[in-house]
Amino acid sequence: MKPENSHPPETIRPEDLMEELGIKKETYYRDLRYLEIEHQKDSSGRAYLSTEQADQIRALRNHVEQNGKRSGFESSSIVKATDSSISQSTEEIKVNGSSPEEQMAALVRSAAELRASTEIAKYVIASQMTPEMLPGDLRAQVEAAKAAVVPKSTAPNSWAQELVAKANQYMKQQQQEVRS
């Protein structure tokens, strides 16, 4: 038997697992220490892991990818099937002790928080922008909107005369209503 194939069946070489997981030796050995795993050696003195040990390391790597750290990982959460048969269970499975409705509500809430944070960030950034910071096309749209909404200014004297004329007309109308 070749030395590279001298490990028992249902095992994996550390270098194969490191390659599969895309990790370096240092990370591999830290994972072993964290999980308190000691690899075995074959007849030629080469290290190997049982499939259970390899599965623990895979699960730990998955946990680290999701959480950014090893702490909080529980190896007791790994389940190993002893046979290949699957049986139907009538027992309802709850993840983290919550019902499917609660899980969906939590998922929707998380999505809503993400959406809200994006909207908040957008408005905060917008509130700090000056018209000069806008791209040319948007600045032109703002100027067109201002021109359409803001009345053109008139000379103060003519505006005052117009206002006095309207006030006089209003007072005449009031006097006529009193007489009638």
Output the pLDDT for position 22.
92
Q: What is the DSSP string of 77-142?
A: G----SSS------SPP-BTTB-HHHHHHHHHHHHHHHHHHHHHHHHHHHHT--GGGS-HHHHHHH
- Whether 67 and 7 map to the same domain: the answer is yes
Output the pLDDT for position 153.
63
Expressed as residue numbers, the domain containing 49 is: 3-73
Say if 127 falls within a structural domain: yes
Say if 56 falls within a structural domain: yes
Q: Model pTM? A: 0.41
Say if 90 falls within a structural domain: no
Output the pLDDT for position 144.
86
- Whether 69 and 114 map to the same domain: the answer is no
Output the pLDDT for position 2.
45
Say if 179 falls within a structural domain: no
The per-residue pLDDT string of the chain (180 residues; one tens digit each, 9 = 90 and over) reads 444 445 567 788 999 999 999 999 999 999 989 888 888 888 888 988 988 888 888 988 988 888 888 888 876 545 555 555 555 555 555 555 567 888 888 888 888 888 888 888 888 888 888 888 889 998 899 888 887 776 666 666 777 888 889 999 999 998 888 887
Half-sphere exposure of 108 (CA within 13 A, CB side): 6
- Whether 68 and 19 map to the same domain: the answer is yes
Say if 175 falls within a structural domain: no
Report the candidate in 82, 36, 28 with the shortest Cα–Cα distance to residue 58: 28
Q: How far apart are the first and last CA of the chain?
A: 124
Alpha-carbon 105 to chain mean position:
16
Say if 158 falls within a structural domain: no
Say if 98 falls within a structural domain: no
Please state the domain count of the chain: 2
Select from 50, 73, 96 the last residue of a domain.
Answer: 73
Sorted by sequence, the CB contacts under 8 Å of residue 49 that are 6+ apart come out as 11, 12, 13, 14, 17, 37, 39, 40, 57
Q: Are 80 and 52 a contacting pair, CB within 8 Å? A: yes
Say if 102 falls within a structural domain: no
